[in-house]
């Protein structure tokens, strides 16, 4: 079950909307940093601590920490675990500025995927193969192929992670790439 679906089931409508607003405000940045919002541990800690307060502070603190490490040319090794620690320990941001969220890197993961694939496979191929991509109300990220096949974006990312270097360095048949995605159809 997705984070937003779990929250909807756990909280009344007013609480759910307030928590959802905070999550959606920071989700793009945290996802770019590497937080996996489909990880059951992340979902569990967000659900269990949402009403305790500090959700927004912890989100900001992790983003703040990411910027700090970026300036030192370092990365957060385990972003989901970092967020879990921030939530459990009620981290506070040292110096927060809302402009941090305007970073052009903090685009939806599906858009970043599209742009990267378009660079390597071409706009025509992507337009002929992919009808849509995005996230539904429940937080489910997907890629919709032109034949109507809806693929879980998490599985597409996994496939790309396993095969992207081959995709870029080997001669490839674009039809085969399209067909290779089909086993990742969502139920």
Q: Which domain holds residue 52?
A: 3-102
Whether residues 8 and 82 share a domain: the answer is yes
Helices (H) and strands (E) in the chain, counts: 9, 3
Whether residues 135 and 50 share a domain: the answer is no
Whether residues 76 and 45 share a domain: the answer is yes
Whether residues 49 and 67 share a domain: the answer is yes
Tell me how far apart the alpha carbons of residues 31 and 51 are, in angstroms, rounded to a whole number.
Answer: 22
Measure the N-to-C terminal CA separation of the chain; round to a whole number of Å: 13
Residues contacting 35, CB < 8 A, separation 6+: 42, 62, 79, 80, 82, 83
Task: Report how many domains make up the chain.
Answer: 2
From first to last of its 187 residues, the chain has per-residue pLDDT tens of: 788 888 888 999 999 999 989 998 999 899 899 999 889 999 999 999 887 788 999 999 999 999 999 999 999 999 999 999 999 999 999 889 999 999 988 877 777 777 877 887 788 887 888 888 777 766 677 788 888 888 777 777 666 654 544 444 444 444 555 555 544 444 4
């Amino acid at each position: 079950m997705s984070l937003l679906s779990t929250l909807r089931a756990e909280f009344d409508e007013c609480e759910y909307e307030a928590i959802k607003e905070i999550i959606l405000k920071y989700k793009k940045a945290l996802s770019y940093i590497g937080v996996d919002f489909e990880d059951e541990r992340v979902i569990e800690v967000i659900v269990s601590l949402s009403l305790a307060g500090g959700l927004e502070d912890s989100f900001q603190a992790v983003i703040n920490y990411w910027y700090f490490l970026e300036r030192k040319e370092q990365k957060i090794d385990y972003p989901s675990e970092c967020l879990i620690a921030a939530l459990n320990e009620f981290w506070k941001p040292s110096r927060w500025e809302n402009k941090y969220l305007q970073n052009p890197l903090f685009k939806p993961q599906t858009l970043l995927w599209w742009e990267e694939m378009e660079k390597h496979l071409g706009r025509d191929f992507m337009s002929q193969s992919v009808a849509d991509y995005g996230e539904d109300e429940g937080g489910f990220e997907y890629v919709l192929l032109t034949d109507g096949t809806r693929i879980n974006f998490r599985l597409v990312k996994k496939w790309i992670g396993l095969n992207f270097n081959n995709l870029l360095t080997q001669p490839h048949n674009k039809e085969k790439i399209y067909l290779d995605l089909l086993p990742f159809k969502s139920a």
